[in-house]
Amino acid sequence: MSLIKVISEEKINNLNKEFFSNDEGIITLIVGWELAKSKGASILNHQIDEKTYWTFSPREKRKIFEEDIERYRLLVLNHLKSDKKTINISPLNFLNSEQLLNYLLNNFCNLNAYLYKESLYLYNKNTIYHIDMGLLSFMSWDIIEKIKDIIKIKEIKKENLKYLKYLDFKYIPYLIDAKENNIISDVLD
């Protein structure tokens, strides 16, 4: 899934395909002043509407183009994160491992989850729940396999880990599995 849809009358080289596409995106970026002007852009404001922006082409003003590309990349990533709430589920709030397992069974058995290093992330619409699996091991609560029986844990493909350089891991599942993941539809609307 690309995050920024690019509309341009000229071919633009070296745009990162992880972020930019000619077909889809969370925001639209119009490249080139003449094309942007025909779409109602103002020279003083690079935002046309809520999800449409414009910049000069690299042929017109390369430095502004490069600065804007980075700015719009950060803008769309911040947009993805803006309405997400993160809640930590601390094993210390439970008297024993069985109480934690019952809590997970009652509240999270139908959610998607991702395990990354020693963190388990559970996704429910715009809320991300986090469980520190390292803390479970430290507490000698050997319940990781039981948790895996309760919650469907998906694997993150290595090619999707490329987003780590742009985003905290907990947000990455919002960017992947676009057709399978029920969370991504909330992001794209």
Residues 80-102 pLDDT 10s: 777 788 899 999 999 999 999 99
Q: Is the pTM of this model over 0.85?
A: no
Q: Do 76 and 104 share a structural domain?
A: no
Chain segment 112-145, per-residue pLDDT in tens: 788 877 888 888 877 888 899 889 888 999 888 8
Is 31 in the same domain as 62?
Answer: yes
Based on the structure, what is the number of domains in the chain? 2
Q: 122 and 133 share a domain?
A: yes
Q: 89 and 182 share a domain?
A: yes
Are residues 22 and 111 located together in one domain of the fold? no
Domain that holds residue 26: 4-82
> Whole-angstrom Cα distance, residue 120 to residue 111?
12
**pLDDT single digits (tens) 131-187:** 998 898 889 998 888 888 888 887 776 766 666 666 666 666 655 543 344 333 333
Q: Kindly state whether residues 151 and 129 are assigned to the same domain.
A: yes
Residue 148, C-beta contacts closer than 8 angstroms, at least 6 positions apart: none
Same domain, 73 and 131: no
Picking from 22, 42, 62, the residue whose alpha carbon sits closest to that of residue 54 is: 42
Q: How many Cβ atoms sit within 10 Å of the Cβ of residue 1? A: 18
The rounded Cα 107 to chain-centroid distance in angstroms is: 23
Q: Which of 82, 103, 120 is the last residue of a domain?
A: 82
Same domain? For 149 and 164 the reply is yes
The residue among 17, 49, 82 that closes a domain is 82
